[in-house]
Amino acid sequence: MAVKNVMTEDYLRSSYGGESMAHMRYLTWADMADDEKVPNIGRLFRAIAYAELVHANNHFKVLEDKKNDYTVTAGAVFGRGTTVENLQGAINGELHEVEQMYPAYLQVAEFQDEKEAKRSFHFALEAEKIHAALFKDAQDAAKEGEDLKMDSVHVCPICGHTVLDEAPEKCPICGAKKEVYKSF
């Protein structure tokens, strides 16, 4: 994989930084959800942490021949609060990516004809839309003092597509088969 233009290259690094920090805070907030006795919300955080790792790895792969040290600037949400508060932080982060960050990065990648970057940004953007909605459902439950109603969570290891209860026969974002989904 490769990238030719420095603007797209910078956006890939920034996205990698954002996804890496999202991965870490979701693991932290997963443990806090377990402590609050809402283990399904904990599992949702862990599953989505894995989806962010998939996104980070996709961006990292597009940059594979840029072997060097860089200074990365990226957005991140901080704070350890109640699970309702942590979910609000998660929703804010996902909505920023859905409404601002990835659409702008995708626009530039298209303009610069960066095929690999477009694919990587597109996978992330589509998955983050679902993440925002799932975190909202989890927060609605947590606000009522309840856990999220679900049997399991499934994540596509190619694009980060995330779905409750049962994986689809074919990933709606990247076309991967049901068998490759990782379950939580």
Provide the residue count of the chain.
Answer: 184
Residue 124 found at the interface with Fe ion (CB under 5 A): yes
Shortest reach from residue 145's CB to Fe ion, in Å: 25
17: left (phi over 0), alpha (psi -120 to 50) or beta: alpha
Q: Which window, 52-60, 101-109, 149-157, 163-171, contacts its own copies (CB under 8 A)?
A: 52-60
**Which one of Fe ion, its own copies, none is in contact with 183 (Cβ closer than 5 to 8 A by kind)?**
none
* Strand, coil or helix: 154: strand
* Strand, coil or helix: 164: strand
Contact string 46-85 vs Fe ion (x = CB under 5 A): ------x--x------------------------------
Torsional sign, CA 14, 19, 22, 24: negative
Residue 89 found at the interface with its own copies (CB under 8 A): yes
81: closest CA among 92, 89, 93?
A: 89
What residue ranges bind Fe ion (CB under 5 A)?
19, 52, 55, 94, 124, 128, 131, 156, 158-159, 161, 171, 173-174, 176
